[in-house]
Amino acid sequence: MSDSWNKNSIPKSRTIIFGALVTMLFLGYLGHLFSLQIVDGYLYSVRAENVKRRSTIIPAMRGEIFDRHYTVPLATNTNSFAVEINPALIARGEHRRVFEDTAALLGISVQEIERKIPQSVYHVYQQIEIRPAVPFETIVCLAENIHDYPGVSWVTKPVRTYPEAQVTAHLLGYVGDITPDELQVLYNRGYTARSVLGKSGIEQQYDELLQGQEGRSIRTVDAVGRRVADHNVQIVPPEPGHNLVLTVDRRIQQLAHDALGERIGSVVVLKPGTGEILAMVSYPSFDPNQLYGSGAASHFSRLRNDARAPFLNRAIQSSYPPASTFKILLTTAVLEEGLISTDDTLFAGPHYRLGNRIVNEWRPSGFGRINVLQALANSSNVFFATIGHDYLGTERLLSYTSEFGFGIQSGIDLPGERPGLVPTPEWKRRVFNSPWVGGDTVNVAIGQGFLSVTPLQLANMVALLVNDGVLYRPHVLKEVRDGHTGEVIERTQPEIIQTLSLKPQTSHAVRRAMRGVVRGGTAEPVITTPVVEVAGKTGTAEIGSQTDDWHSWFAAYGPYETQDPDEQVVVVVMVDAANDWEWWAPKAANLIFHGIFADLDFEETVADLRQRRRLWYM
Amino acid sequence: MRSRSIFAFDVYILCATLALLTVGILFVYSSGLGSGGEPLSREYVRQIIWAVSGLIILVCLSFVQYKSLRPWVPYVYVAGLVLILFTLLFGRVVNGTRAWLGVGILGIQPSEFMKIAAIMVFAVYLERAGANIQRIPYLAAGSVLFLIPMAMILMQPDFGTASVFFPIYLGMCYMAGARVRHLVFVGASALLILVFTMLPAWEIYIHGSRIPAFAVFSNPRIKLLVLAGLGAVALVAMVGLLMLKRGYFYWIAYAMSILALSLGASLGARAAIRDYQLMRLVVFMNPYVDPRGAGWNVIQSVTAVGSGGIAGKGFLQGTQSHYQYLPEQSTDFIFSILAEEWGFAGTLLIFGLFLVILLRGLYIAGNARDSFAGFMASGIVAMIFTHFAVNVGMAIGVMPVAGVPLFLVSYGGSSMWTALAGIGILMSIYQHRYRY
C-alpha cells in the first residue's frame, strides 16, 4: 500500500474548539427550548388550544307574528336555499371559472361574487354566502351538476315570509340585512353585522322582541377550518325570538283591504273600548316577500321611485284636512259648552260671510233654520262656520281640537306616526309671519285650511265620543308569547291617554247626531247594511280651489247603541283625491261594517248585500 | 501496529444513528395522521424503505477502504455537477423548486448528494494544498469548488440547500488549519450581507417608520457613496500598512473591507433575492408581521414546540400537527411534532443522540489515519451539524425558515441516503484508522 498519504494534520486544538462550538450551540438551543417548553409552556398550550377553538353562530329563529286569534301566523319563517362558496375547496387557478359558472347559474354578475370573495380569502376555509333565496329549480340544477361547481354548496336558510303579502304589508313591515348606519346605532344593543332586522311596521317596532338570541357552537377546527372529530363541543343553543300576537283580526284586515280596493287611501278599524287596532290598511301596498332574495334590489328601487309612495302607511303617516268629519268635534264642543242646546235652531243660509271669506253652503239654497242635529246630518257648512266662529271662538275651538288628540301623535306602537297639524295663532305667526284672522277660525271649523289629521286621529275622535270622553291608546300588540312554549309573557293592557269630562248627555247627543247622518242624513244612501246600526260622519275635503278632486272621508262606529261595548268598532275610511271621484269612503265603510257584523268576507258581503238589494253602487 | 477486525464498528455512532432513524420513522408516521387519527399518508412506509436501503449503503461504505474512493472523487464531483445541471434543465418542480430528478414517486435530489461529493473533492484539495491553505489565494481558489454547486443550486432556486455548503467550507478550512482571521473575514462578510439585505425590510415591516440613516441600504446612490468612502479608507489603510507596517492599519483595512464587501454584495443580493425569501427573513425577525402568510410556519411551529411542555402531549397526541396547522411537517418541521408530542424530554433525547454523532465524528476526524480522511470526516460533521442547527433553529424560531431537513429524522430519501452515506464514510474512516 502506498504511503504517499499525508499524515493527519488536523490540530488537536481545532478539533476541541470545533467540538466546543458544537456543544455551545446545543446548550444554547436547549436553553431556548427550556424557556419555550417549560418556562412558557403553559402560555403556548393555551395558545395552541385557542387557535383551534372556533365558534360558529347558530342563528336564532325570528319570532312569528299572529293575528288576535293566534292561529295562523301573519309573518313566519320558511326555509329557502342560500348558495354558498367555500373558496378553499376550489383548486388553485379554478376560482375564476367556478365564479363565472356560478354567476351564470344564479343569474348574477361575476363582480358580485368577486366582491364577496376577494383574492385575499381564496385560501380561507369558510362558507361565504353568495345569494339567499335561490329558487328550488336552480338548486336542483346545481345538485345535478355539482361536480362542475367545486366549493359551491347550498344551505337551507330561514326566510321571512308574509302569507298575507300586500294585505298586512304596512302593518307588519318587512325585514332586511342591517346597514352600516343601523349597526352604528344598534351595536350596543347586541346587534351584529349579520343581523337581519325589521325595517318598518311591527317588525321594526318590536325588533328586539322578535330577534331572539343567537346561539353558538364552539368546537375544534383544523388549520383550514374544517371541523375535527371532537367530543368537546360546546353548544349554546339559540333562543328563538318571542312570538307576537297582534290585536289585528285577519278577517277584518282582509275585508278592509278588499273594501278599499285599488284606491289610494287607508282604512282604520279599532275597538273604542280598548284602543285595539282590528285592521289598518293602506293602498298602494307592496309585497314584503319580494324585498328579499333575487330581484329584491330592483323591486325595492321600483317601489322607492313610485310616485304613489307604496311604503307610506297612509293610516298614520299622512295627514289630510278632515273636512266635514270635523263637525263632530264642533257639535261636541258647542253642546258641552252649553252654548246651544239640541233644540236651538240657527239660520243656515246659502253663505256664511266673514270679511272677504265666504263659505258656501253645499246646497245652493241653504237649509234655513235648523238645529245642530239636522246641521250635522246635512253637513251644513254655514251652520258650523257660525258655530265655530261666532259661538265657540278661536280659543275654545283650538282647545277642543287639541283635547281630542289632534296635532299630536297618538302613541300607537308603530313607527313613523305623523302628528298632523292644528294651526294656532302662534303657529301662523311663526310660519307665515301673518296674524290669525277670523277666516282661519272658520277654516278650522269646517275642517279645511291648514288643519290636517291622520285617519287614526279621526278614529280616535270617534272612539272618544263612543267612550263618553275616554280615549285609549291605539295599539297593535296584544300579547308577547314565548317562542318555545307559546306561553303569554306580556299582555298589553288598555291605557287611557285622554279623559275629557264630557257631560253624558253631550256625548249621547253627538252620537245621536251621528246616527242622524246615517238615518236621513248625507250618508243614508250608501250606508245600507241592515245588520248593524251605523253612526258616523262623511267628509269631502277640497284640495285646491277649483278642481273636482276631493278627499273622501267616512268616520263612523257601530252599533249605535249597545249593551256590550266590546262589540263596538270604529271604522275610518279615507280615499285620496287622486282617485276618480266615487264617494267611496262611506261605501267602503258600509261594506266593512256589513262584513264585520254579518261575519262575512268581502265576496260574501258583496253577494249578501246584492241579494238583499242593498248594493246599488257596485 | 495493531490490527483490528474490520467489523469493529463505531458502536456509539451506529447506535445513535439507529435510534434517530427509529424516532424519525415514528414521527413521520405521526405526521401522516389526520385530525381524527386516520392515516393521511403512507410516507412512513417509504421512510422505512429508505432507512433500510440507506443502512445497507452505510454498511457497504464502512467496509470500503475510503482510500479506494479517492481516485474516483473528481469524477463523482463532475458527475454530481452534471446531474444538478441536468436537474436544472429537466428536473421536476416541487414546491416551486426545480430540484428533483426521477419518475413517478421515485425522485432524487442531486443537490443533497452533491454535499458529499463537494466534501470529498474539497478534502482532496485541502490535502494537496497542505499548509498553503493559510494563504489567501489557496483559500479563495478552494472556495470555487463550493461556489459552483452553490450557484447552480441557488438557480433551482433552493436557498436552504445552497446555504449548507458555506458552513461546510468554513468548517473544513478551519480543521485544515486555515487562518482564523481569514475565516472570520469570510464568515463575517456573509453574515453582514444577510443583515444589510434585511435591514431595509426590517425598517419597513418591523420598525414601521423610516430611519434616515437607513437610506444607506435602500438608496443606491448613497449606498455607492458610502461604499466609495469605505473603499477609500480601506485603501489608505492598506497603503499605510505597506509603508508603516503598523498592525492597526491591518485591522482598519480588515474591518473596512468586510463592511465595503458586504455593503456592495448586499446591493446585488437584494436584486437576486426573491420577495418570498425576503419575507422569510422578515418574519424570522418578527413572525407577527404576516401571521397568516410567511409568518404562519414559524408561529405554528413555535406554538407546537412550546405547547409540548416537559413530557409532551404523548405520542400521536399532538394537535398542532394532526390538525394540519404545521406545514411540511414530515420534512422541515418534524422536530416541532417531536417537541410537541415528547416535550422537553424528547428534545433532550434528540440533542443527545446528535451530540454523540457529532462529537464522535470529530473524534474520528482527529484520529483519522491521514489528512484526506480527517478533512472528509470534518466536512461530514460540519454538514450534519449545519443541518441540525438550521432545522432545529428554524423549528424553535431562532433561524430563518429554510428548507433544510433534519438528517436521519426528516422524511426524504435523498437526505436520508446522504446522511447515511456520510456516516458510512465516517465508519470507514474509523475502521481504517490504523495502518496495517
Residue type, B323: Y
Which of A23, A36, A43, A46 to mutate against chain B (most B CBs within 10 Å)? A36
pLDDT at A130 over 90: no
pLDDT per residue as tens digits for the range B292-307: 666 777 888 888 888 8
Determine the residue of chain A that is closest to B392 in CA distance: A29
Question: Closest Cα of chain B to A16: distance in Å?
Answer: 8
Which chain B residues are within 8 Å of A37, Cβ to Cβ? 305-306, 308-310, 339, 343-344, 347
pLDDT above 90 coverage of chain A, percent: 57
Q: How far apart are CA B408 and CA A347, in angstroms?
A: 120
Q: Which of A18, A223, A229 sits opposite B325 (nearest CB)?
A: A223
Nearest to B355 among A8, A26, A223 (CB): A26
- Return the minimum-mean-pLDDT range out of A70-79, A415-424, A453-462: A70-79
Shortest Cα distance, chain B CAs vs residue A216, angstroms: 22
Contact A226 B35 (CB under 8 A): yes
Query: What nine digits make up the cell of A198?
Result: 325589521
- Provide the β-strand partners of residue A351: A360
Q: What is residue B1's predicted lDDT score, i.e. its pLDDT? A: 37
Is the preceding omega at residue A559 within 30 degrees of 0, hence cis?
A: yes
| pTM recorded for the entire structure | 0.60
3 state SS of B295? coil
Residue of A8, A38, A47, A224 to mutate, testing the B interface (most B Cβ within 10 Å of its Cβ):
A8
Alpha-helical runs (H) found in B274-318 = 275-285, 296-307
What are the residue boundaries of the structural domains of chain B, listed by start?
11-431
pLDDT of residue A226: 56
Measured CA to CA, the distance from residue B280 to residue B316 in angstroms comes to 29
For B242, the grid coordinates are 505597506
The three cell numbers locating residue B372:
484526506
User: Are the beta carbons of B130 and A9 separated by less than 8 Å?
Assistant: yes
Confidence label for B96 from pLDDT (cuts 50, 70 and 90): low
**DSSP run (H or E) holding A298:** helix A296-305
User: Looking at the complex, does the CB of residue A30 fall below 8 Å from at least one CB of chain B?
Assistant: yes
Let me know: does B237 contact B252? Beta carbons within 8 Å: yes
pLDDT score at B362: 95
- pLDDT at residue number A220: 67
As its CATH architecture, domain A80-158 has: 2-Layer Sandwich (3.30)
Identify the DSSP state of A213.
B
Mean pLDDT of B146-157: 90
User: How many residues in total does chain B contain?
Assistant: 436
3-state DSSP call for residue A183? Answer: helix
- Rounded Cα–Cα distance for residues A54 and A45 (Å): 16
pLDDT of B3 reads 46
Contacts of B36 in chain A (CB under 8 A): 228-229
- Mean pLDDT in chain A? 88
Most confident range, picked from A85-89, A204-208, B156-160, B254-258: A204-208
Round to whole Å and give the CA distance between B24 and B322: 16
Who among A6, A19, A37 is closest to B308 (CB)? A37
- What is the identity of the amino acid at B414? S
For A6, the closest of B36, B309, B371 (CB atoms) is B371
pLDDT band at B186 (very low <50, low <70, confident <90, very high): very high
pLDDT at residue B375 in the model: 94
**Nearest chain B Cα distance for residue A482, angstroms:** 41
Q: Are A545 and A249 a contacting pair, CB within 8 Å?
A: no
> What is the full DSSP assignment across A317-354?
H--B--GGGGHHHHHHHHHHTTSS-TT-EEEE-SEEEE
Rounded mean pLDDT of A383-394? Answer: 93
Give CA angle at A155 (A152, A156), nearest 5°.
155
Confidence band, pLDDT 50/70/90 cuts, at residue B2? very low
Put simply, whether A14 touches B (Cβ < 8 Å) is yes
Rounded distance between C-alpha atoms, residue A223 and residue B323, angstroms: 6
> Across the interface, do B325 and A51 touch by the CB < 8 Å criterion?
yes
CA A252 to CA A177: how far, in whole Å?
31
Q: Looking at residue B203, what DSSP letter applies?
A: I
Q: Which residues 6+ apart lie within 8 Å of B124 measured at CB? A: B70, B73, B74, B372
Closest CA in chain A for residue B395: A33
For A576, phi and psi rounded to 5 degrees? -70, 150
Largest CA distance in chain A: 155
Count of CB atoms within 10 A of residue B418's CB? Answer: 26
Closest CA to B63 of B8, B17, B140, B117: B8
Residue A359: phi and psi, rounded to 5, are: -105, 120
Nearest CA-CA partner of A532 in A488, A571, A490, A489: A571
Q: Is the pLDDT of residue A2 over 50?
A: no
Peptide bond into A321 cis (omega under 30): no
Q: What is the mean pLDDT of residues A375-380?
A: 92
**Residue B14, C-beta contacts closer than 8 angstroms, at least 6 positions apart:** B427
Is A545:A438 a contact under the CB 8 Å cutoff? no
- Of residues A29, A30, A49, nearest to B393 (C-beta): A29
Residue with the three cell numbers 278632515: A322
Sign of CA dihedral A397, A398, A399, A400: positive
Whether the CB of A1 is below 8 Å from some CB of chain B: the reply is yes
Q: A28-42, A531-545, B151-165, B195-209: which range is least confident on average?
A: B195-209
Cβ neighbours of residue A537 closer than 8 Å, sequence gap 6 or more? A324, A325, A327, A328, A376, A379, A514, A517, A523, A553, A554, A555, A556
The residue among A45 and B15 whose pLDDT is bigger is B15
Which cell is A555 given?
268616520
Alpha-carbon distances of B348 from A29, A562, B19, B105, B343, rounded to whole Å: 10, 98, 13, 34, 9
Q: For chain A, what are the domain ranges? A: 80-158, 250-611
Q: Which residue do the cell numbers 360546546 mark? A: A234
Homologous superfamily of domain range A250-611: DD-peptidase/beta-lactamase superfamily (3.40.710.10)
Which of A3, A25, A32, A37 has the most B C-beta neighbours within 10 Å, making it the best mutation to test the interface with B?
A37
> Among A423-427, A592-596, B21-25, B213-217, which stretch is predicted with the lowest mean pLDDT?
B213-217
Mean pLDDT of B181-197: 89
Mean pLDDT within A539-563: 83
A10, A48, A229: residue with CB nearest B320:
A48
The per-residue pLDDT for A69 is 93
Whole-angstrom Cα distance, residue A408 to residue A315?
A: 15
B357: closest CA among B377, B375, B381?
Answer: B381
Strand-pairing partners, residue B275, are none
Per residue in A562-609, pLDDT (tens digit) is 888 899 999 999 999 888 888 899 999 999 999 999 999 999 999 999
The answer to whether the CB atoms of B339 and A33 lie below 8 A apart is yes
As a whole number, mean pLDDT of residues B181-210 equals 83
Residue A270's H or E segment, with its range, is: strand A265-270
Contact B355 A228 (CB under 8 A): no
Q: Could you give the dihedral angle defined by the CA atoms of residues A307, A311, A316 and A322, in that order, rounded to the nearest 10 degrees?
A: 20
Residues of A in contact with B347 (CB under 8 A): 30, 33, 37
Alpha-carbon distances of A594 from A258, A586, A597, rounded to whole Å: 13, 12, 5
- Alpha-carbon distance A604 to B9, whole Å? 109
Sequence-ordered list of residues with C-beta below 8 angstroms from that of B253, at least 6 positions apart, any chain: B234, B237, B238, B241
Which letter, b or e, does each residue of B254-265 get, where b requires 16 or more Cβ atoms within 10 Å of its Cβ?
A: bbbbbbbbbbbb
Per DSSP, what are the bridge partners of residue A280? A268
Whether A115 has a pLDDT exceeding 50, the answer reads: yes
Q: Return d(Cα B166, Cα B153) in angstroms, integer.
A: 13
Kindly state the cell numbers that stand for A482: 314565548
Instruction: Give the DSSP letter of residue B396.
Output: T
Instruction: Identify the pLDDT of residue A580.
Output: 84
Least CB–CB distance from A30: residue in B35, B343, B351: B351
Q: Give the residue carrying C-alpha cell 246600526.
A: A533
SS3 B327: coil
- Picking from B130, B177, B347, the nearest residue to A11 by CB comes out as B177
Using the predicted structure, report yes or no on whether residue A544 has a pLDDT greater than 60.
yes
Helix B371-395 vs helix B334-366: crossing angle, to nearest 10: 160
Longest Cα–Cα distance in chain B = 76
Q: Taking a C-beta distance cutoff of 8 angstroms, is the pair A313, A279 a contact?
A: no
Which among B27, B51, B3 is positioned nearest to B335, based on CA atoms? B27
* Minimum Cα–Cα distance from B367: chain A residue: A8
CB A480 within 8 A of CB A488: yes
Per-residue exposure over A170-188, b if at least 16 CB sit within 10 Å of its own CB, e if not: bbbbbbbebeeeeeeebee
A27 touches chain B (CB under 8 A): no
Across the interface, do B362 and A29 touch by the CB < 8 Å criterion?
A: no
